[in-house]
Amino acid sequence: MPAMKTPGVYIVEKSAFPNSVVEVATAVPAFIGYTQKAENGDKSLLNKPWRITSMKEYEKYYGGAPSPKFTISDVAKIEDADFKVRLGGDTRGKGKGLAQDNSRFILYYSMRLFFQNGGGACYIVSVGDYDGDASGDGKGEIKADELRKGIATLIKEPEPTMVIIPEVTSLADLKTCTSVQQAALLHCGNKMRNRVAILDVFDGYKDRQDPDGDCIAAFRDSLGINYLDFATAYYPWVQTTIIPDSEITFNYLNKAGKAALVELLKTELKVAVTDDVPMETPEAGDDGSPAGEPKPSKEGQMILDQRANLAKELDNVIEFADAVAAKIALRDGGDEQLKGKTDADIESLVLSERALLNKTLMAVSPLYVQVLKAISARLNLLPPAAAMAGIYTAVDTTRGVWKAPANVSLASVSAPAVNITHDDQEDLNVTTQGKSINAIRSFIGEGTLVWGARTLDGNSLDWRYISVRRTMIMMEESIRLGTKAYVFEANNAQTWITIKSMIRNFLTGIWKRGGLAGASPDDAFSVYVGLGETMTPEDILEGILRVSVLVAVTRPAEFIEITFTQQMQKS
């Protein structure tokens, strides 16, 4: 207050209430990966964490989906086939496989899965685009070094509470994938200690009895033992509905794939002449002439003519449907259909041609439908970490961070990639090494559920459950930030009492909402601070104020045992 030297009235305001601890955000994931672009106006967002709140914002700053391209090839074992080709009298069929010839960029699809499972505010770190250079061929490479650099950019961002790297599973091998995941563990458990990593299992779409080996055992062996309490992992991958069937066309095939498809369709359309069209047999003549050979009916002949014309035009129509890249050359090259057309006109024409061809093939070719379903299955197969980040957000919002993110259904998921039984989950959940893997299971009448809530440090009684770890992070960060106001205050009894009261009020609120276990606040937590209690005279001389907080965090009922015993009849 100013010195009172001039006569008048002076106002003095005094604080009636002490500072309070404000609960920090608990569900703000950071996604690291590759995007179509990374720009805010004329400013680059490459390797810069940027906060968004919706898919619309993502597309504004980072663009749209990648352009995956597949080729069609023979497979050695029919069991490994993506689809089967049965022509003529071949009942077993020939196996065909799909192979993607460009990098598997999945951040865009993972973001859609995140928001559809309840996701909200999050950070994006774009480490590169789909091309990798100016070629525009969509064949940019996913590199471990670039993903690790993306992790490092989050050190200066205090808000994110989760780290997810969907495209780490698209790296060349398990060793490279694990190196990035270990960097994420180091970031979460050593450098920051205020966030957790949600990890995907490399090759997690495979069964554990796969001839190539047990993906879970390989994941556990390669991950190491450091900072496991700051991470959780989920198995298996999930089959999603992120990309609807209506968006799947032959345009997902590369040039060689389209050529192979054309040949298969031509063969199918020709073989189908005697297989599935209405036929009729001419009756014997009155003059004793024998009955004629079966031949297509009028309706059948119309179908045959349609197929014959389609088979004949397949090359031309598909080639024309790919004309966007060379539309100017086509227009100026004397093509009568394109004369006088603008670029926009040609693009519209190409799209209509593609749509018409796709609709026609869907109607007359079962093989084409098979191919599209195989492509859809490939594109919609995604690792589950992004979906889990969305579920964490939804559960935190509705129930609180102390509620285990389990026994919750996954949205936009049709089925897990591998069906897990009760017995299968035993080794996933409880293992000698303690590296628990949370299962995603399908239950009859309930759908696909998250059926596990452990960290990778499953042998620790302190940090076994991910809800406990995340609740502790929330309380630690909230109290740390709240207590920051008392740095350089007098290290005396008045400050100690104020800090103790502030922390107790905060923890009482958590206890009332169910985050701490106990019949009363005194049973749920204790706060100690003061000389002779948490500090020595030497601590005070050195400027140290020590506070000790004990909490009983609510833990999930992972196993429920109900005992039945028969008793004697009483009446």
* Continuous segment of H or E residues that includes residue 501: helix 493-512
What's the whole-number mean pLDDT along residues 12-37? 93
Per-residue three-class SS string for 408-446: EECCCEEEECCCCCHHHHHHHHCCCCCCCCEEEEEECCC
| Residue 443 forms part of a structural domain | yes
> Which of 284-293, 312-321, 425-434, 507-516 is predicted most confidently?
507-516
- Asked whether residue 46 falls in the same domain as residue 168, the answer is yes
The reply to whether 400 and 427 lie within a common domain is: yes
Q: For residue 273, name the pLDDT band (cuts at 50, 70, 90).
A: very low
Q: Note whether residue 124 is domain-resident.
A: yes
Q: Where are the alpha helices (DSSP H) in 282-332?
A: 298-321, 327-332
Establish if 456 belongs to a structural domain.
no
Q: Given this model, what pLDDT does residue 308 score? A: 64
- Asked if 434 and 514 sit in the same domain, the reply is no
Based on the domain organization, do 111 and 235 belong to the same domain? yes
CATH number, domain of 45, equals 3.40.50.11780
Same domain, 364 and 503: no
Q: Are residues 371 and 384 in the same domain?
A: no
Number of domain units in the chain? 3
CB of 297 closer than 8 Å to CB of 281: no
Q: How high is the pLDDT of residue 262?
A: 82
Pick the more confident residue, 571 or 478: 478
The answer to whether residue 172 scores a pLDDT higher than 80 is: yes
- The pLDDT score that the predictor gives to residue 2 is 74
The closest alpha carbon to 188, from 241, 235, 240, 152, belongs to 152
pTM score, whole prediction: 0.87
Condensed to tens digits (0 to 9), the pLDDT of residues 216-250 reads 999 999 999 999 999 999 999 999 999 998 889 88
Task: Find, among 98, 111, 134, 117, the residue nearest to 34 by Cα.
Answer: 111
pLDDT digits (tens, 9 = 90+) for 196-208: 999 999 999 999 9
Q: What percent of the chain has pLDDT over 90?
A: 68
Could you tell me if 145 and 192 are in contact, meaning their C-beta atoms sit under 8 angstroms apart? no
What distances in angstroms separate CA 553 from CA 24, 25, 200, 458, one per listed residue? 17, 18, 27, 17
Q: Tell me how far apart the 2 most distant CA atoms of the chain are, in Å.
A: 139
Indicate if 42 and 154 belong to the same structural domain.
Answer: yes
Q: Are residues 110 and 386 in contact, defined by beta-carbon separation less than 8 angstroms?
A: yes
pLDDT at 291 exceeding the cut of 80: no
85 lies in a domain? no
pLDDT at 135 (0 to 100): 46
Tokens of 389: 């980040």
Q: Is the pLDDT of residue 215 over 90?
A: yes
Please state the rounded mean pLDDT for residues 210-220: 95
CA gap 296, 130 in Å, rounded: 51
268 and 212 within one domain: no
Note whether 400 and 507 are same-domain residues. Answer: no
Query: Both 59 and 107 in a single domain?
Result: yes
- Evaluate whether 113 touches 58 at the Cβ level (below 8 Å): no
C-alpha 277/C-alpha 288 separation (Å) is 29
